[in-house]
């Protein structure tokens, strides 16, 4: 699947761009289902996690269609996550973020879960599914290559994490591209200065000993859990007592579960 050169690029830069990884039929299925959910959920869209000014959000997507189950277990994605996190990891959340047309607000540079690598190494890794073309004008993600190796968060080095970093680049590409990201790498969305939405899906994974961003066992309906394959149950840590202990506590105290 992934080559030695691709693994080396991921280690060096903290991210890896895989053009055309999502087949055209799957891309269309994702787009259609996501727009159905935005219409159906209305103002409550994303409420299982958070809402955001200037963007549409969806959360808890594994519970909302077979096409999402396909996305989180793509072999190339899982291979890359094992490379970053080690063999024992789990899905932390599956969300959609769609920047609104003419949204002038950049995200601050950040690391996911405010995470710093510990004595065991990296513990968060993200995946960006480009559901639309990412261009310099429509909210493409900015990344600071190599920053995952610095052992610092942006707010600890920058006076203003909203500002441009001198080493940042924009990750652009065609719809269907997948970006694997060591989520300790400094990154953030940029402003959408076009008249169309810029849609992306984020499959976020964490090491097995860390809490899920969204506690899957509590969020997934019983009928969803009942039909999941053993592979997916393991990936979502549905039968893991350690995950129950650490993720339930974080989810409840953080207000992620209503």
Domain-embedded: residue 230: no
pLDDT band at 129 (very low <50, low <70, confident <90, very high): very high
CATH code of the domain covering residue 85: 2.60.120.620
pTM for the whole structure? 0.95
pLDDT average, residue stretch 171-186: 98
Element (H, E) at 179: strand 178-182
Q: What is the pLDDT of residues 60-96, one digit of tens each?
A: 999 999 999 999 999 999 999 999 999 999 999 999 9
Element (H, E) at 247: helix 241-254
Q: Provide the 8-state DSSP code for 150.
A: S
| 3-state SS assignment for residue 141 | strand
Number of domains in the chain: 1
Domain-embedded: residue 154: yes
Is 88 or 258 the better-scoring residue by pLDDT?
88
Domain-embedded: residue 126: yes
Domain-embedded: residue 250: no
Model pLDDT, residue 249 = 72
| 3-state SS assignment for residue 95 | strand
Q: Which residues make beta-bridge pairs with 121?
A: 118
Residue numbers of the domain that contains 59? 4-209
Checking if the pLDDT of 255 tops 60, the result is no
Checking if the pLDDT of 180 tops 80, the result is yes
pLDDT average, residue stretch 232-245: 95
What value, to the nearest 5°, has the Cα angle with vertex 192 and ends 212 and 40?
A: 55
In angstroms, the Cα distances linking 251 to 136, 218, 242, 243, 245 are 35, 9, 14, 11, 10
Domain-embedded: residue 203: yes
Domain-embedded: residue 246: no
Domain-embedded: residue 234: no
Domain-embedded: residue 114: yes
Model pLDDT, residue 254 = 53
Q: CA 137 to CA 193: how far, in whole Å?
A: 6
């Amino acid at each position: 699947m992934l080559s030695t050169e691709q693994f080396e690029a991921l280690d060096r830069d903290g991210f890896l761009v895989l053009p055309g990884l999502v087949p055209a039929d799957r891309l269309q299925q994702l787009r259609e289902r996501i727009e159905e959910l935005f219409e159906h959920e209305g103002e409550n869209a994303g409420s299982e996690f958070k809402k955001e000014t200037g963007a549409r959000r969806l959360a808890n997507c594994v519970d909302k269609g077979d096409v999402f189950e396909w996305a989180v277990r793509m072999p190339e994605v899982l291979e890359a996550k094992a490379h970053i996190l080690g063999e024992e990891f789990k899905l932390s959340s599956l969300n959609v973020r769609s920047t609104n047309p003419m949204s002038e607000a950049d995200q601050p540079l950040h690391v996911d879960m405010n995470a710093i690598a510990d004595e065991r190494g990296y513990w968060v890794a993200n995946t960006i599914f480009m559901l639309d073309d990412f261009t310099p004008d429509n909210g493409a993600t900015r990344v600071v290559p190599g920053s995952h190796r610095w052992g610092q968060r942006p707010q600890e080095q920058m006076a203003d994490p909203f500002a441009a970093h001198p080493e940042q680049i924009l990750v652009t590409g065609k719809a269907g591209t997948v970006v694997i990201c060591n989520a300790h790498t400094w990154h953030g969305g940029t402003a959408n200065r076009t008249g169309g939405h810029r849609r992306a899906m984020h499959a976020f994974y964490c090491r097995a000993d860390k809490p899920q961003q969204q506690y899957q066992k509590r969020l997934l309906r019983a009928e969803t859990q009942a039909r999941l394959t053993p592979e997916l149950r393991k990936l979502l840590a549905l039968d893991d007592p350690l995950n129950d202990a650490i993720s339930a506590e974080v989810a409840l105290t953080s207000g992620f579960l209503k």
